[in-house]
Structure 1
Amino acid sequence: MINRRTFLGLLATTVLPQPVLAADVDNEPEYFADWLRAGQMPHLAKRLPKFPRIVNVAAMGRTPGHYGGSVRTIVGSQNDIRFMTIYGYSRLVGYDRTLSLQPDILESFTSVNDMVFTFKLRDGHKWSDGHPFTAYDFRYWWEDVILNKELTPGGGALELRPHGSLPRFELLDELTVRYSWDDPNPDFLPILAAPQPLVIAGPAHYLKQFHKKYQDSIRLSSLMKENRAKKWQDLHIKMARSYRPENPNLPVLDPWRNTTAPPAEQFVFERNPYFHRVDENGRQLPYIDRMILSISSSAIIAAKTGAGESDLQANGIDFNDYTFLKEAEKIHPIKVNLWKAARGSRVALFPNLNSADAVWRDVLRDVRVRRALSLAIDRHEVNMAVFYGLGTESANTVLPDSPLYKPEYASAWIAHDPDQANALLDAAGLAKRDEDGIRLLPDGRRMEITVETPGESPLDADVLELVTDHWRKVGIALFTRVSQRDIFRSRAMGGRILMSLWYGLDNGVPTADMNPAELAPTTDDQMQWPLWGMYYLSRETQGVAPDVPEAAKLVKLLREWEAAASSFERAEIWHEMLSIYTDQVFSIGLINATLQPIVHSARMQNVPEKALYGFDPTCFLGVYMPDTFWMKEDRRNA
């Protein structure tokens, strides 16, 4: 039996383009001219794989570009250099604009019943330092990282052992590897395409110097001291980290590579001379030579962007900055596009069913209370007052852009109906009120809900101000507490938060083949059930098992999805989970399909006018291939 992924993999092998033969001087980036003249770098024909990935820019409705330029962007902290890994979106397999999986770094892949995955690499593909990228890089990561108990004491990523055991790994030849499970693992390819992808290969030729198996103890101790690592495994992890590319010496397969060691106030990423993509004219991508990331306070990123200090900006700005940024268009050579946010809800409230307060925990576990809280909110007022009516009033669920969308999921318990909300709260045993009209809990305390938020967007405060009025009308007092994100998450996981405000589902545009884990208690950072999530994440060694039947059913359905052998079966499971999740109001979504400003230099070409914007699966700008963006002028003096 050949499933949809197998077909896509086979299709990829049948439509492979011919080798790029036109590697003349015109196709060489001028950026490399000095290296080429000095003989420090081979010419393009020897830098590219035999079969590079050909990106037909014109077929994407864009214009084939020209080399050159430096693009400035602003980030809020040193950790945010990870945006380059997300934006660059170089993956073994990746999503295209239609959210279909395609081979990217791989030349091809095949999948048999989501149990046996065979990957073929591109002949002649090289790491950014010019060293060959081969199956031996997969073998190194498998044998010397994943199977090394000192480096991987937990037994490997959960995505590699969804049924408890790791797969079988085979190196078939220098360019072919295979991973085999006895049961289906439908999440394997999607996790390789994710914003923070599962790592299954690394530059062995570079990393062996930091591994106890390959390095003598004296030299290894010296490297540990030099890099301030107490253990050799800490050293290896630090030097191998690819998602947050802080090590400038680490060879990569991304379109741009970091050249700046931290700490720094500015990070410069330069074009990878061995990047595997070319346009239809044989010009190597990326078109842009350098990406310059400047660190600034998150609070002033929008102001700096409006002042023309960024050539490409998506992070650090929000819809409430739109008017200001549009005015800035009149003064500075920038352009502001509006993309549709792909989350399940721009803002969502998460009642903590694992609250440490036993009385509140019982109250919030009553579905009548959660439904009442949702019905009491006037979403139309929120939409008009905060989002100028441009969003969609909805539960926290998938968007119409998803093939899994159904109107009943979006409309579940969102009608503004204070009378029904009052009736539900009365039926839940919360009919008694004090002299101020505030309902009383079973132990006599006032029904005062403190909603906690990291306060990273002024929109949050605006929304909560409106919800405060809405809930007051049904006898509930709302208070707000703001804390830093790390403290906020820590308090949530510790059960010390009664209710939190955060974004809705990360992936609001899933297909049946994408993992529905967000709908079930699966991680300890899910605000509505962190202890249940920890129980799943730790394989039942920490946290507590879900004791609300509907939540336990979601976990059971997730297990069934993981074992399903077809997209049809997975779609059926998705629908059952979406129905339970929205009907039970495990999170209270307010508005989705909101708009996200994307600001870019007026000189920058090929930035989509409209698109979906989200972390997963679109990787913010990633699936729209920023390596195909280009500047009309070469800003060498930037």
Structure 2
Amino acid sequence: MDNLLLQMIKDLTPNMPAQFVGSDGKSIAKFEKIDTYTFRIIFPEPKPLFIYDIPAQGWYIDNTQGSLSYYAPKHYLMQFHPKYTPIDKLEKMAKDAGFNKWYELFKFKDDWLQNPDLPITAPWKVVSKSPNEPVFVMERNPYYFVVDPEGNQLPYIDRIVHYLVSDAEMINMKAVAGEIDCQDRHMRVSNYSLFMENAQKGNYRVLKWASAVGADPAIYLNQNVKDPVKRQLFQDVRFRQALSLAINRDEINKILYMGLGTPMQAAIPKGAAYYDPYWEKAYAQYDPGRAKILLDAMGLKVGKDGFRLGPDGKPIELIVSFTTYPGNANMSIMELIKSYWEKIGIKTIIKQIDRSLYVTNCNSGDIEIGIWVMDRCSNFILSPGRILGTITDGPWAPLYARWYWTKGKEGEEPTGDIRKLYELWDQVNQTTDTVKRDALIRQIVALHRKNIWIIGTVGALPSLCIVKNNFRNVPEYLISDAPLFTPLNAFPEQFFIK
């Protein structure tokens, strides 16, 4: 392969997708063509979790979310690639289209959300979308290759219109008014009574899918917090246990979730792979007396104002940062948690900040205590980021996680149980024996159960889906989770309007 072509490949894909990097972190997969319709992906060493990187529903491609497409329409895209079109011509085409480089044009043309002309194998294709318009339209793809049991080509629905609104509450109000045919995303559990009261008037039904959520919200104490006194506190398991025991989860569940959830530790919920009943209950009882005993054992004395002093003799002041994410009731919950923690003598300040700033501060390790949902729990092999701390909107170990995913080039090197956690996950990635792999994963679960790195509130909440009564074939029961691409796992190509 000549140097020019190598450079073109690097321009188009400067960073090799993790799916194609070997379990050793260095080797790259090779592709072997078998015939016109078949290819083989070969790794030099075993990579048993690779199969989990392939979406179960092969038509799903979402470049905006970083999901990986294993194929692209060569007959169409070759006109935008320098292997088939002169580079000078391509650069002119790119500039004429408003791009600086040919690979920017290529990526645009290969994005089905942005380019309606891209041939795709999905059930629907975008036919109208503008960044300046609050709507985009998808129409039935006549080339979709799947049929129903009677031989009818899917999908059944000819046209789908998506509306972009300013906030999640507006979506909820549209659902209540009967203006939405089917919607699960952003349907707030806190609005359950409102949905039920208006179901007959709005001519819809309310489905309660099972969410793979271990805590909503979860409380993430940053093990890399920059304040040395707080780091000493946060890294002491007794402190985390005390904060957990001080939380009245039953009260949160009744007041904010109408009893629909399960008061529990931030853990894998019942029914999901690797569920551990002992983790679910670990330090999840409401026991402020025991919490005080743990703080006393740490030597955290109570000052004149009723608040505890840190090991430096100064008042402890926890700063909890949170932002809004779809469906949450963080402000109300955080006011309750603030009251619980201050009853055991831990002064607490809650700060609501802009989401983009929150994420930036999480990535840099500047969030002391972060608040986010603990989701992606249906099977954390599919998405281990919550357990490993590599999804930093839940910043329990942001700098340790960075050390892990950069192979030690950045971040902070972990020790103790967090180092063991990463070593176990490396073994999971290389173990082909499923029994041995499950045993390794159970060890990871045990480390979380022991350390309570993430503190939970209420989990196993239903994921609500509002469906018009004439909108059919929507399953009554479904596991809702991001790695499952819900509602894709409901097979919407089989939905129909009666």
Report the TM-score when normalising by structure 2. Answer: 0.91
Q: 2:128 aligns to what SS in structure 1?
A: coil
Distance 1:302 1:471 in 2: 32
Matched, 1:190 2:52: yes
Q: Give the Cα separation in 1 of the matches to 2:303 and 2:470.
A: 62
CA separation of 1:323/1:526 partners in 2, compared to 1, >3 Å: closer, same or farther? Answer: closer
How far residue 247 of structure 1 moved from its aligned partner, in angstroms, is 1.9
2:339 is matched with 469
Question: Which position in structure 2 is the counterpart of 1:121?
Answer: none
Matching residue within 438, 449, 456 for 2:307: 438
The 5 Å alignment of 1:21-420 reads 148-157=9-18, 159-163=20-24, 164-193=26-55, 197-242=67-112, 245-263=113-131, 264-298=133-167, 299-420=169-290
Deviation at 1:526, TM superposition (A): 4.3
Distance in 1 separating the partners of 2:6 and 2:70: 9
Cα shift at 1:159? 4.9
The CA deviation string for residues 19-75 of structure 1, in whole angstroms up to 9 with x for no partner, is xxxxxxxxxxxxxxxxxxxxxxxxxxxxxxxxxxxxxxxxxxxxxxxxxxxxxxxxx
Distance 1:444 1:590 in 2: 30
Say which of 432, 438, 446 aligns to 1:565: 432
CA distance in 1, matches of 2:336, 2:391: 30
Q: Aligned AA for 2:141?
A: N
Q: Please state how far the C-alpha of 1:611 moved relative to its aligned partner.
A: 2.2
Give distance in 2, aligned partners of 1:147 and 1:360: 49
Alpha-carbon distance between aligned partners in 2 of 1:329 and 1:215, rounded to the nearest angstrom: 57
State the alpha-carbon separation in 2 of the partners of residues 393 and 147 from structure 1.
54
Residue pair 1:521, 1:536 contacting (<8 A) in 2 also? no
Where structure 1 has 5 or more consecutive residues not aligned to the other structure, the ranges are 1-142, 633-638
Q: How many Å separate the matches in 2 of 1:147 and 1:433? A: 65
Asked if 1:499 corresponds to 2:360, the answer is no
Could you say what secondary structure the match of 2:195 adopts?
helix
Q: CA deviation at 1:516?
A: 4.0
Matching residue of 1:454: 323
Specify which of 533, 552, 573 is matched with residue 401 of structure 2: 533
Kindly state the Cα deviation for residue 438 of structure 1 after the two structures are TM-superposed.
1.0
Measured in 2, the distance between the counterparts of 1:177 and 1:144 equals 22
Structure 2 gaps of 5+ residues are none
* Contact 2:116-2:126 at 8 Å conserved across structures: yes
Query: Residue in 1 aligned with 2:465?
Result: 598
Question: Relative to structure 2, which stretch is displaced further, 246-255 or 293-302?
Answer: 246-255
CA distance in 2, matches of 1:316, 1:390: 17
Matched, 1:619 2:485: yes
Looking at structure 1, the residues matched to 383 and 163 of structure 2 have their Cα atoms a distance apart, in angstroms, of 35
Q: Structure 1 residue 587: deviation in Å? A: 0.5
Over the matched positions of the two proteins, sequence identity in percent amounts to: 30
Q: Normalized against structure 1, the TM-score is what?
A: 0.72
Contact 1:520-1:555 within 8 A present in 2 as well: yes
CA distance in 1, matches of 2:6, 2:68: 13
Name the CA shift for 1:144/1:593 in 2 (closer, same or farther; >3 Å): farther
The residue type equivalent to 1:240 in the other structure is D
Instruction: Please list every run of at least 4 consecutive aligned residues from structure 1 whose deviation after the TM superposition is greater than 3 angstroms.
Output: 143-147, 194-197, 513-518, 521-526
Q: Distance in 1 between matches of 2:79 and 2:344?
A: 65
Summarize deviations over 1:359-394 as a string: whole Å, max 9, x none.
212211111111111111111111121112221122
Is 2:450 aligned against 1:583?
Answer: yes
Q: Is the CA contact (8 Å cut-off) linking 2:372 and 2:394 kept in structure 1?
A: no
Per-residue CA distance 1:325-369 (angstroms, 9 max, x = gap): 222213222222121211222210001112222221221111111
Which amino acid is the alignment partner of residue 396 of structure 2? Q
Cα distance in 2 between the residues matched to 1:352 and 1:165:
33
Q: Is the Cα–Cα contact under 8 Å of residues 237 and 452 in structure 2 kept in the other structure?
A: yes
The offset of 1:168, in angstroms, is 2.3
Sort the Cα spacing of 1:261 and 1:403 in 2 relative to 1 into closer, same or farther, 3 A.
closer
Amino acid at match of 1:295: L
Tell whether the 8 Å contact from 1:169 to 1:180 is kept in structure 2 after alignment: yes
